[in-house]
Structure 1
Amino acid sequence: MLAPLPAFAQGKVEAHYEASLAGIAVGRGTWGIEISDDFYSASAQGATAGLLKAFSGGTGSGSVQGRIVNGALVPAAYTATVNSKKSETIKINLAGGAVKDFAIVPEPPVDADRIVVTEAHKKGVVDPMTSSLVKVAGNGEVLGPDACRGGSSVFDGRLRYDLKLDFKRMETVKADKGYHGPAVVCAIYFTPVAGYIADRPVIKYLTAERRMEIVLVPIAGTRVLVPFRLTIPTPFGPAVLEATQFNTVALPPRVAKTQ
């Protein structure tokens, strides 16, 4: 006999994004995400494009796998690789919200000006990719102010930083292909904690910037929201990452065999 398991929320996303600076295309990428009742995974690939590619060609990829425990996304393994003039791979293994071990290959030189990441800093954290997935608790509306009332403590292999969200507004978004519907817009605030060099201009700029925002839309069949658009003002114009294709479908519940 075939008996279906309880209908837990499950869904997936296949999306294409374009990055631009002051309206000029500088990169393109893809992102695939799958959410099951107790497991999630995501993978992304990207490359420079347009004007930026003419000056500095490069590619990158990343992936994460984790469990869903008591409604929370708990990462287990994260990998990110960048190939440009120099290649680098970062691997982080986590358990219960704490970093078990991590490596950067090739190993970077020690910088005495960098604020040391302690063992305490590596507890209660998620990886950068998991931090971009927003799980909305409860049984109410998925899209609304509640989606912007959280935040993440993030460790990316070098930096330990906090991201905080704050509700701004609701709007309607439309990809060239795929999703057309409501979205929630959150302000996003960056606070460095450790692993950074305090006098770096980019750190000072991101810490002080109060106009960054992220636009979130749901993965069909789940209570998980993902970025549709990210906007960061810069002295050269807005840096924008936006979905050009966004296809999401709910997945049927798993079916188990019973005697």
Structure 2
Amino acid sequence: MSASMLRVCLTAVLALAGAGTALTGAQADGRLEARYRMSIGGLELGRAALIIEIDDKSYVASGSGRLTGVAQAVAPGKGTAGARGTMEHGAPAPRSFAMEAESEKKSEAIRIVMNAVGVTDMRVEPPVNPALDRVPISDKDKKGVLDPMTAALIAVPAAADPFSAKACDRVLSIFDGRQRYDLELSFERVEEVKAEKGYEGPAVVCRIAYRPVSGHRPNRSAVKYMMKNRDMFVWLVPVAGTKVMVPFRAAVATAIGVARLDAESFETEPMVPRRAAPARAGAP
């Protein structure tokens, strides 16, 4: 499997949902540690992990993935990704993103630096191959966007029920260093889910529509297929102690079967703020 395909697998974990709705009121602190199984047509493809920490001022997210089973035997591959940013008016505001992926034949690295307006600096290795039919990425396309990692955080308004359409109804603007695209989420239903370890309870199911903006080659069959694909879904559950939702499960129909991401372990808990140590008796 190529490094670009591994990037797609990682992105499926890290960017099937995103931030876009501002919170109101105070944002609590929470932590998530999750482990996922990636499969296609029921056959295991790989494993992935996601760690997120959120407080009222900042957030940090990191993820990793690796091919396993038959996929690993055919073409070994692994990758990591990470992002950090601030919480502004209760919503994640990205500041940096990094991703690395490698396979037997290719390695890839992406670095993006952002501010409140948009992308300020970036590095993509190897560079994007020039092509006459590739839609150019303009400076405008790099403004008001989310990186793929920050796009794994759904901020639900404080007054809203997190298990409602408010978690889904949004359009996400994402830039991953190579492409600028929108993910349009729409509410489908609420469904009970259960991990082998950790979370058990309701999840909001959102349908996803892929809308490429730039950096893509519109005549490629894969792009056309994804634009027409109406069978892409993500299941969202909250990070404990917060109003932020993250992917628990995802499913995408492909020509060779349904590609899935399933949380086998999903452990989340509020983070207890550190308190100053009590003064010792007789201390000045």
Q: Deviations over 1:227-255 (max 9, x none)?
A: 00110001111000111000000012354
2-structure distance, mates of 1:108, 1:186: 31
Given the alignment, which residue of 222, 240, 252 partners 1:232? 252
Deviates more, 1:248-257 or 1:74-83: 248-257
Query: How far has the Cα of 1:134 moved from its partner?
Result: 0.6
CA-based RMSD: 1.5
Matched, 1:182 2:202: yes
Q: Contact between 1:220 and 1:250, CA under 8 Å: does it hold in 2?
A: yes
Matched, 1:203 2:201: no
Matched, 1:125 2:145: yes
Matched, 1:64 2:64: no
Task: Give the AA of the match of 1:73.
Answer: P
Q: For residue 92 of structure 2, give the secondary structure of its aligned residue in structure 1.
A: strand
Q: For residue 171 of structure 1, give the secondary structure of its aligned residue in structure 2.
A: strand
Which runs of 5 or more structure 2 residues have no equivalent in the other structure?
Answer: 1-24, 278-284
1:37–1:204 distance in 2 versus 1, CA, 3 Å: same
* Alignment partner, residue 3 of structure 1: none
> Taking structure 2 as the reference length, what is the TM-score of the superposition?
0.86
Query: How far has the Cα of 1:139 moved from its partner?
Result: 1.9
Matched, 1:167 2:226: no
* Alignment partner, residue 46 of structure 2: 27
2-structure distance, mates of 1:164, 1:20: 24
Structure (1 or 2) with the greater strand fraction: 1
Q: Contact between 2:31 and 2:53, CA under 8 Å: does it hold in 1?
A: yes
> Taking structure 1 as the reference length, what is the TM-score of the superposition?
0.94
Task: Give the AA of the match of 1:68.
Answer: M
Task: Give the AA of the match of 1:87.
Answer: S
Q: How much identity, in percent, do the aligned residues show?
A: 42
Q: Deviations over 1:121-161 (max 9, x none)?
A: 11110101111211101323222111011131000001000
1-structure distance, mates of 2:71, 2:125: 25
Kindly report structure 1 stretches of 4+ aligned residues shifted beyond 6 Å.
Answer: none
Task: Give the AA of the match of 1:95.
Answer: N
Given the alignment, which residue of 136, 140, 154 partners 2:156? 136
Matched, 1:93 2:106: no
1:97–1:16 distance in 2 versus 1, CA, 3 Å: farther
Q: Contact between 1:78 and 1:127, CA under 8 Å: does it hold in 2?
A: yes
* Alignment partner, residue 261 of structure 2: 241
Query: How far has the Cα of 1:111 moved from its partner?
Result: 2.5
Given the alignment, which residue of 241, 252, 256 partners 2:272? 252
1:151–1:7 distance in 2 versus 1, CA, 3 Å: closer
1:256–1:47 distance in 2 versus 1, CA, 3 Å: same
1:192–1:255 distance in 2 versus 1, CA, 3 Å: same
Q: For residue 128 of structure 1, give the secondary structure of its aligned residue in structure 2.
A: coil
Q: Deviations over 1:67-102 (max 9, x none)?
A: 111122110000000011211100000101401011
1:226–1:97 distance in 2 versus 1, CA, 3 Å: farther
Given the alignment, which residue of 120, 133, 155 partners 1:113? 133
Q: Contact between 1:74 and 1:97, CA under 8 Å: does it hold in 2?
A: no
* Alignment partner, residue 147 of structure 1: 167
Task: Give the AA of the match of 1:199.
Answer: N
Number of equivalent positions = 252
2-structure distance, mates of 1:98, 1:35: 21
Q: Deviations over 1:185-208 (max 9, x none)?
A: 000111000000111111111111
